[in-house]
């Protein structure tokens, strides 16, 4: 039976500040930060793709509106995820401080927040950005909740591969917010994040393998072991970097992006090979090194995407 955890700390009413922090925790703010990092630079690149536009920077109110709408959308998806996974979150040490585990929020409060923020994101993006962006936001939430959380996560070791598609949607939303449509460039950007997600998340699952095993979530590290995970991380890292280089001819990227894509991509691949080397030698694999490296890689890559189209930095190679 699914019982809320009550402690002396959480019995009775809690203060406004603490309740607000609990709602913020429900949204998984660190995940949202990474999603927003991929949205704003894409909007600059999308602005650059428009014919006859003099300003290299999209309307700042449009950027702000898109980021707020994206935050609401991601908050909804993450809140639904916390509600659905509250049973295993109570078992895993990594998630034991989430507000539904500590009792700072009730199940009803979390579910209400998820619905309200989701509906608010649709209306916000539809009315203040455009309905293409709003529709993509709906697809992202539904995919993350229904396909990843409910269907894939507890059933297949490929959960993070296909479920990770939801995390790719911000690049499409950012592009559609500026152009009102999609094209080859945003699809390449989608592919970069899609291929990056497994080598980003699988090292984390290596570190917390015992916890995933305890709650019967078949992460790849649980069902196949760290050597197989290390090899898969290498393959996906190479695929990610290759996909990132496709953006050069497709979007006419210049020296700034090319240098960053090659430099950081080589570093990401090097760290992936080092993880595999440690795994096959049965040393301490240090998987969190690759986990943190992957975040730095994606951040720098998308910063370069945003900087490259700006006039002082744009030296087109193609």
CATH numeric code, 183-318: 1.20.120
CA 106 to chain centre: 26
Predicted confidence at residue 283, as pLDDT, reads: 66
Contacts of 83 (CB under 8 A, 6+ apart): 100, 107, 110, 111, 114
Contact, 163 vs 97, CB < 8 A? no
Superfamily name with CATH number, domain 17-181: UbiA prenyltransferase (1.10.357.140)
Q: How many residues does the chain have?
A: 318
Contact, 257 vs 317, CB < 8 A? no
Q: For residue 60, give both structure tokens.
A: 């700042």
The C-alpha torsion from 12 through 15 and 17 to 18, rounded to 10°, is: -20
pTM for this structure? 0.89
**CA 265/CA 73 separation, integer angstroms:** 30
Q: What is the pLDDT along the chain (318 residues), one digit of tens a residue?
A: 344 444 434 445 677 788 888 898 998 888 888 778 899 999 999 998 888 777 788 999 999 999 999 999 999 999 999 999 999 989 888 888 899 998 899 999 999 999 999 999 999 999 999 999 999 999 999 999 999 999 999 999 999 998 889 989 999 999 999 999 999 999 999 999 999 999 999 998 888 888 888 899 998 888 887 888 889 999 999 999 999 999 999 999 999 999 999 999 999 999 999 988 887 877 676 888 899 999 999 999 999 999 998 876 544 444
- One DSSP character per residue, 219-249 reads -HHHHT-HHHHHHHHHHHHHHHHHHHHHHHH
Contact, 34 vs 90, CB < 8 A? no
Predicted confidence at residue 318, as pLDDT, reads: 41
Break the chain into its structural domains and give their ranges.
Answer: 17-181, 183-318
Angle at 230 between CA 228 and CA 235, to 5 degrees: 95
Contact, 103 vs 139, CB < 8 A? no
In angstroms, what CA-CA distances link 88 with 28, 92, 213? 16, 6, 11
**CA 66/CA 58 separation, integer angstroms:** 11
Angle at 91 between CA 165 and CA 35, to 5 degrees: 25
The C-alpha torsion from 46 through 185 and 42 to 125, rounded to 10°, is: 70
**CA 299/CA 70 separation, integer angstroms:** 17
Contact, 179 vs 243, CB < 8 A? no
- Of 259, 241, 242, 266, the C-alpha closest to 308 is 259
**CA 198/CA 205 separation, integer angstroms:** 10
Predicted confidence at residue 42, as pLDDT, reads: 96
């Amino acid at each position: 039976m699914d019982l809320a955890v009550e402690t002396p700390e959480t019995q009775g009413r809690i203060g406004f500040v603490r309740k607000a922090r609990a709602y913020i925790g429900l949204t998984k703010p660190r995940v949202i930060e990474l999603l927003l990092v991929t949205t704003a630079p894409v909007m600059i690149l999308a602005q650059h793709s428009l014919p006859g536009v003099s300003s290299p920077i999209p309307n700042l109110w449009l950027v702000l509106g898109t980021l707020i709408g994206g935050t609401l959308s991601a908050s909804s998806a993450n809140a639904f995820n916390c509600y659905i996974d509250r049973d295993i979150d109570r078992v895993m040490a990594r998630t034991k401080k989430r507000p539904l585990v500590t009792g700072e929020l009730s199940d009803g409060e979390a579910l209400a927040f998820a619905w309200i923020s989701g509906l608010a994101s649709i209306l916000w993006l539809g009315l203040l950005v455009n309905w293409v962006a709003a529709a993509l936001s709906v697809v992202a939430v539904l995919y993350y909740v229904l396909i990843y959380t409910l269907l894939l996560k507890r059933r297949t070791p490929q959960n993070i591969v296909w479920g990770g598609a939801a995390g790719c949607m911000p690049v499409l939303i950012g592009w559609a917010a500026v152009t009102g449509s999609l094209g080859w460039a945003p699809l390449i950007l989608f592919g970069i994040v899609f291929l990056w997600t497994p080598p980003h998340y699988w090292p984390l699952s290596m570190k917390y393998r015992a916890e995933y095993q305890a709650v019967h979530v078949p992460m790849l590290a649980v069902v196949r072991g760290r050597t197989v995970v290390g090899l898969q991380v290498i393959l996906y890292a190479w695929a990610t970097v290759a996909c990132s280089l496709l953006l050069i001819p497709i979007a006419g990227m210049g020296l700034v992006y090319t240098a960053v894509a090659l430099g950081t991509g080589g570093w990401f691949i090097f760290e992936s090979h080092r993880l595999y080397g440690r795994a096959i030698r049965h040393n301490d694999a240090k998987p969190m090194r690759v986990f943190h490296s992957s975040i730095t890689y994606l951040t720098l890559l998308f910063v370069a995407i945003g900087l490259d189209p700006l006039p002082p930095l744009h030296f087109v190679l193609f």
